[in-house]
């Protein structure tokens, strides 16, 4: 189950308190991906007691799954499965916006109505993006490969 692996890894490496993470393959409700791929493929919500975190993308067998990824990071006051479910519409709507391109090494700041397009560093085995969690108690992430 991919989401458990992501939650477990974040918990171990970055002291996240993982409340829930879900993708279309392993949860009990469907997401509308829309005609042009709107919506999201994976969502997770995390308590963020630290001010800064890293969002990491790594190559597998020498390549990234895609050269870029859409990511929405919404501030969350409550970290629970219900809170993530309640934020799904907001996450889907943000995915439909024009996403701001972000290069590896740049900062993602959780904000309503903001979509980021993470540009992976093609010449590096991993791309790191800073996550500024200094002003939030938790973050709900919604992600979609292009």
pLDDT digits (tens, 9 = 90+) for 57-90: 999 999 999 999 999 999 999 999 999 999 999 9
Residue recorded with tokens 């879900």: 22
pTM for this entry: 0.77
For β-strands 52-58 and 126-132, DSSP reports them as antiparallel
Predicted local distance difference test score (pLDDT) of residue 145: 80
Contacts of 67 (CB under 8 A, 6+ apart): 119, 120, 122, 146
Per-residue pLDDT of the chain (146 residues; tens, 9 = 90+): 333 344 444 444 444 444 444 443 333 333 333 333 458 999 999 999 999 999 999 999 999 999 999 999 999 999 999 999 999 999 999 999 999 999 999 999 999 999 999 999 999 999 999 999 999 999 999 999 86
For β-strands 107-108 and 126-132, DSSP reports them as parallel
Do 96 and 133 form a contact (C-beta atoms < 8 A)?
no
Percentage of the chain lying above the pLDDT 90 cut: 72
Phi and psi torsions of 94, nearest 5° = -65, -35
């Amino acid at each position: 189950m991919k989401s458990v692996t992501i939650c477990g890894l974040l918990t171990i490496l970055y002291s996240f308190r993982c409340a829930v993470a879900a993708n279309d393959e392993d949860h009990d409700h469907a997401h509308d991906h829309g005609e042009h791929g709107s919506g999201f493929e994976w969502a997770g919500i995390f308590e963020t007691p630290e001010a800064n975190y890293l969002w990491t993308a790594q190559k597998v067998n020498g390549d990234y799954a895609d050269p870029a990824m859409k990511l929405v990071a919404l501030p969350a006051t409550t970290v629970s499965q219900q809170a993530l479910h309640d934020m799904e519409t907001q996450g889907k709507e943000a995915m439909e916006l024009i996403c701001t391109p972000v290069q590896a090494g740049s900062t993602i700041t959780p904000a309503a109505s903001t979509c980021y397009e993470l540009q992976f560093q093609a010449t590096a085995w991993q791309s790191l993006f800073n996550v500024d969690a200094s002003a939030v108690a938790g973050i709900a992430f919604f992600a979609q490969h292009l």
